[in-house]
Structure 1
Amino acid sequence: MDKTDFIHTRRFIVKLGKMLHKYGTPAFRLEAHLNEVAAYLNVNASFISTPTSLTFVIWSDKHEEEYNHAARVQPGELDLGSLARTDELVSALIDGKLSLIEADERLTYIDQEIKFMHPLGMGTAFCFATGAFSVLMGASLLDAVATGAIGIVMYLFVFWSQHSRRVAYMLEPAVALVAGVLACAIAHYLEPGINIRLVVLSSIIIFIPGLALAIGLAELSSRNVVSGTARVMDALMQLFKLYFGAFLGISLGFALFSEIEHNPLIRLPEWSLFVAVLVLCTALVPIFNIRLKHAHWAITCGFVGYFSTYWAAKYLEFGLGTFAGAFAVGVFANVFSRITNAPTSIVLMQGLIVLVPGSKTYIGLNSFVSGKDFVQAEHIGQETFVIFMSLVAGLIFANVVMPTRKAL
């Protein structure tokens, strides 16, 4: 390999690695995918990925050329549409449909294109996603309506944070604080029967890092110890900031509007769970920027995850129903990858998020700090631990039963 070819090759690999990291790819999947690409491009390589850094070591077969690159990066956010487009581009390169230079140019185009829908559409998605989640947590109709209204305000902060670094820096505690105050105001002026703490949890569910915790544990189980530890600690810090903001917001709300005793409202009928899962998974499509051709797969994966857990929980010990849900989601995601030749992550994330590991952690934290439960839950601490272990174990068993063909 001459020097010019080596330069083009290592530039492409570095750009690809940074983009995949930016789109929220777990470390073990990112490193495995880059190794596959490097092998196809006839170079040797070693990669280290963590949530805040990337290290590339690339060399030619006989060490005529060597290249080291280390970069400080921000933790990636889920962008499953761009992830799918990037994977298609790499597949086209490997199949010989694109030259390396053409693939490099298209990578730049994918990174620069407009990825998310109009703010009004995103605000609507936040409204329906938060409201639907509250139904899954056992909320009443009025709880769900209040949650959806606050969810719109939550998106306004997200939109603001995209244009202000100061707001982005304090986003988690700020949204939780505002949600707490607004929930107390709604309870005081409009409907005193709403479950304030449940409304606050549901309205900030998009920000609760349950998915990041699950990914971090999966990285630890795959021996990516540095990345897994960093991701778990980062997720825990986000959770603490959210809980502190909610705790402060509710306290301010009670001081401003007086504390109102919660009178449980009538829960929605059981069939509403089907509607809630459909609405939640549909709303997550624009939030995760999932492509329309993959949307029906992602929504179906949400149903598979939730109802596998729902029915298995009737026959298994507490928390172990999550193992059945994670196993079903993992098998479904790998089948999807085999049929469509797309990354499993595109549908896997939808299935995992409806297993609500983050909300259980939040509820456990609230029970530990305040000594009060705002939803009916027993042994919440043990259940939270078992849920996360079950998630990881379910995905591992799924990969054994139905191996994936793609690293991503």
Structure 2
Amino acid sequence: MDTHEFIQIRKFIVKLGKMLHKYGTPAFRLEAYLTEVATYLGVRSSFIATPTSITFVLWSDRHEDEYNSAARLQPGDLDLNSLSRTDELAMELLAGKLTLAQADKQLDIIDALPSPYGKLQTFMAFGLATAAFAMLMGASLAEIAWSGALGLVSFIWCIWATRSKRVNLMLEPVTSFVSGILACAISRYIDPGINIPLIVLSSVIILVPGLALTMGLAELASRNMVSGTARIMDAIMQLFKLYFGAFLGVAIGFTLFGENQYQPATSLPYWATWLAVLLLGVALIAIFRTRPRHILWGLTASFVAYGATVGSAMVMDQSLSTFVGAFALGIFSNLFTRLMNQPATIVAMHGLIVLVPGSKTYIGLNSFISGKSFVQADHIGQEVFIIFMSLVAGLIFANVVLPTKKAL
């Protein structure tokens, strides 16, 4: 391998690594994938990935050429459309269908691609996702509607955060703060007796870092200690900021509008939870930027995860039934990889969002600080711990039974 070829390869690998990190790839998957690509391209490699950085070490067989690079990056957000296209591009390069120069240009094109769904569609998806979550939590029809409306307000803050560094730094607390005040105003002037804490939680559920906590535990389970610890601590801080903003917003709201007296209303029938899973899955398509060709797979993954969990809960403890749901989701995701030759992450994320106990973590934090629970939940701390462990164990067992063919 001559020096010019080595330079081309290492430029491509560095750009590929930064893009996959930007699209929210977990550290253990990112490192394994880059190692596979580097091996196919004929260079030796070592990578260290964390939520905020990547270190690249590349060298030729006889160490004629060596390259070290450390990049400081912002934590990535899930972009399943770009992730899928980037993986396809890498596979075409390794199959000899593209040259390195062509692949490098295509990476720039993919990086500049807008979301397959416009801002209006994403705006509506936020409202739909928050309303669907409230439905899953057993809220009344009015509370579901108010959760959806405040979810639209949360989207406005998220859009503002992409354009302002100052807003981005305070996104979690300010979003939950505004939701808290607005929920108190709604209770005072429009709809007395609503469950304010539940509405506030539902309106910011997209920002609750349940998925990040699960990914952090999965990284720890794969012995990625630095990345896993960093991701978990970042998720905990996000959770603290969300709760503090909500706590402050509700406190000020009660001061301005008077304290709310919660009056339990009739919840929707049981079949509505299945409708909620469908609506949540539809909303996640735009939020996660899922490619149109993967929509049906993503929706199916949500029902596989939820159905396996609910079905197994009939014969075992509800917390442990999450293990069955995660196991079924892992098998389904790996089957998707084998059939479609696409990363398992594309469908796994849709199912995981139904299983992760981010909301229960928030509820547990509320119970610990205030001593009150705004939904019926006994032993919430132990339940959250068991659910997280069951999720990670289920995915690990699934990879043993039906190994994935892709690192992603």
- In the alignment, is residue 355 of structure 1 matched against residue 373 of structure 2? no
CA contact (8 A) 2:116 2:291 kept: no
Q: Which moved more, 1:235-244 or 1:187-196?
A: 187-196
1:235-254 aligned at under 5 Å gives the runs 235-254=235-254
Answer yes or no: is the 8 Å Cα contact 2:243–2:362 preserved in 1. Answer: yes
- Partner of 1:376 in structure 2? 376
Whether 2:28 is the aligned partner of 1:28: answer yes
Worse overlay, 370-379 or 304-313: 304-313
Aligned counterparts of 2:155 and 2:249: Cα–Cα separation in 1: 18
Code of the residue aligned with 2:80 in structure 1: it is L
- Kindly indicate whether residue 391 of structure 2 is the aligned counterpart of residue 391 of structure 1: yes
Residues in 2 aligned to 1:280 and 1:389: alpha-carbon distance in whole angstroms = 24
Deviation at 1:309, TM superposition (A): 1.3
Task: Measure, in 1, the Cα distance between the counterparts of 2:185 and 2:323.
Answer: 39
Q: CA RMSD in A?
A: 0.8
Checking the alignment, whether the CA contact within 8 Å between 2:356 and 2:388 is kept in structure 1 is: no
List aligned pairs for 1:165-314, cutoff 5 A: 165-314=165-314
Partners of 2:22 and 2:76 within 8 A in 1: yes
Alpha-carbon distance between aligned partners in 1 of 2:12 and 2:123, rounded to the nearest angstrom: 36
Displacement of 1:278 after TM fit? Answer: 0.6
1:272 Cα deviation after fit = 0.9
Partner in structure 2 of residue 12 of structure 1: 12
- CA–CA distance in structure 2, aligned partners of residues 317 and 275 of structure 1: 24
Q: CA deviation at 1:142?
A: 0.6
Aligned residue type for 1:109: I
Aligned to 1:123: 123
- Describe the SS at the equivalent of 1:62: coil
Residue 40 of structure 1 is matched in structure 2 by 40
Measured against aligned partners, the alpha-carbon deviations of 1:226-246 in whole angstroms (never above 9, x if no partner) come to: 000000000000000000001
Q: Displacement of 1:36 after TM fit?
A: 0.5
Q: Deviations over 1:304-363 (max 9, x none)?
A: 111211222232124111111111111111111111000000010110111141101001
How far did residue 64 of structure 1 move?
A: 0.3
Deviation at 1:141, TM superposition (A): 0.7
Query: Normalising by the residue count of structure 1, what TM-score does the alignment of the two structures yield?
Result: 0.99
The offset of 1:126, in angstroms, is: 0.3
Partner AA of 2:296 in structure 1: H
Alignment-derived partner of residue 81 in structure 2 = 81
Given that 2:214 and 2:356 are in contact with CA atoms closer than 8 Å, whether structure 1 keeps it comes out as: no
Query: 3-state SS of the aligned residue for 1:58?
Result: strand
SS in 2 for 1:97: coil
* 2:56 partner SS: strand
Alpha-carbon distance between aligned partners in 1 of 2:346 and 2:193, rounded to the nearest angstrom? 39
* 1:186-235 superposed Cα distances (whole Å, 9 cap, x missing partner): 11111113211111111100000000000000000000000000000000
Distance 1:163 1:116, change over 3 A: farther
Distance of 1:334 and 1:252 partners within structure 2:
48
Quote the Cα distance in structure 2 between the aligned partners of 1:110 and 1:120.
22
Partner Cα distance (2:305, 2:77) in 1: 22
- Deviation of 1:275 after TM superposition, in Å, equals 1.1
Secondary structure of 2:68's aligned partner: strand
Distance in 1 (CA, whole Å) between partners of 2:341 and 2:134 is 34
Q: Which residue of 2 aligns with 1:404?
A: 404
Equivalent position SS for 1:354: helix
Q: Determine the C-alpha separation between the residues in 2 that align with 1:219 and 1:319.
A: 22
For the residues of structure 2 that align with 1:362 and 1:18, how far apart are their CA atoms? 32
User: Are 2:147 and 1:161 equivalent residues in the alignment?
Assistant: no
Spell out, residue by residue over 1:166-188, the C-alpha distance to the aligned partner (whole angstroms, 9 max, x if none).
11110000000011111111111
Q: Are the equivalent residues in 1 in contact too, given 2:184–2:250 (CA < 8 A)?
A: yes
Distance in 1, Cα, partners of 2:101 & 2:173: 44
**2:105 counterpart residue number:** 105
Q: Please give the alpha-carbon distance, in whole angstroms, between the structure 2 residues aligned to 1:382 and 1:30.
A: 32
Q: SS where residue 355 of structure 2 aligns? A: coil
* TM-superposed deviation, 1:5: 0.3
Choose 81-90 or 107-116, whichever is displaced more: 107-116
SS of equivalent residue, structure 2 residue 37: helix
Q: How far 1:100 moved relative to its partner?
A: 1.0
1:2 aligned onto 2:11: no
Q: Percent identity?
A: 62
CA distance in 2, matches of 1:110, 1:342: 16
Amino acid aligned to 2:238:
Q
Q: Is residue 163 of structure 2 the alignment partner of residue 133 of structure 1? A: no
Counterpart residue number, 2:332: 332
Structure 1 CA distance, aligned partners of 2:195 and 2:356? 19
| Cα displacement (A) at 1:116 | 5.2
